[in-house]
Amino acid sequence: MKLFLPDNIYSSILESVLPKDSQMEIIKTESALLAKQLENYTSAIALVPSLEIINHRTFFVSSKVALTFDGILSNSYFYFQEGEREIGNVYMRGDLSINEVFLAKILFKERYSSNIEFKIDISKEINKEQDYFVVGNENYISWDIKNGISFSDQVAETLNLPYVNYIIVSKDKEQLEAFNKLSDNIDSVIEDNLENSISMLGLKPEIERLIKENINSIYFELTQNELDSVNELIKLIYYHGIIDDMFDVKFI
């Protein structure tokens, strides 16, 4: 079984507790490329950004495992200039996916009635006089997330539900069902192994501490709240005219 994962610290925590005897081949790649891997490997499984489902409606979606945030911890953060009265351009950098591209603009329109211009930044150097939206592990290396605004928290408040950032999908229903069985009680398993899982990531002590203190705001198991959240994300995209019709997610 091939499992494609995004290369971030939260997927690494999930990876660390998967059964070692499952003969699972784990491959990490950029978030924007994860869904495309299933075109070549039709029996594989992937942890993809949740809004990929709008472009891949035939995918089966796990009803048991996802990566969900509901609080200060996030895979993405905003960093604004202190004392800034008006926000102009926001520069997006890191492991960008369809979720950030669509939801960031919607977020500012919904919550702040603001049409901010988002620009993709591929430069190596960070300009401290600019506003940024940073996705992925760069947040924990080059930025102080205590001074950032959690994107996940903002989306969760907009939906009034936890933010399902990534979902487990496959074209192969049987393979997905098999993965579901391997992932029983995944939240409890992660909690029991959290110390070892985090120590393997090589994070700064303050980041390790922050994750441990706020681990209850991350969910790897899906409940009805998370299932509802996926559907609400699709509704949000629909109401903003990004897709033309609603559809049923093929939860397994």
Query: What's this model's pTM, rounded to 2 decimal places?
Result: 0.95
What's the pLDDT at 9?
Answer: 95
Q: What is the pLDDT along the chain (252 residues), one digit of tens a residue?
A: 899 999 999 999 999 988 877 788 999 999 999 999 999 999 999 999 999 999 999 999 999 999 999 999 999 999 998 766 677 789 999 999 999 999 999 998 887 767 788 999 988 889 988 999 999 999 998 899 989 999 999 999 999 999 999 999 999 999 999 999 988 888 888 988 888 889 888 899 999 999 999 999 999 999 999 999 999 999 999 999 999 999 999 999
Residue 57 DSSP label = T
The rounded Cα 144 to chain-centroid distance in angstroms is 19
> For 2-68+163-210+217-251, which CATH superfamily applies?
Periplasmic binding protein-like II (3.40.190.10)
End-to-end CA distance of the chain: 17
Domain boundaries, the chain: 2-68+163-210+217-251, 76-159
Is the CB of residue 113 less than 8 Å from the CB of residue 85?
no
H or E element that contains 100: helix 98-112
pLDDT the model gives residue 93? 96
Q: Which candidate, 168, 192, 165, places its Cα nearest to that of 178?
A: 168
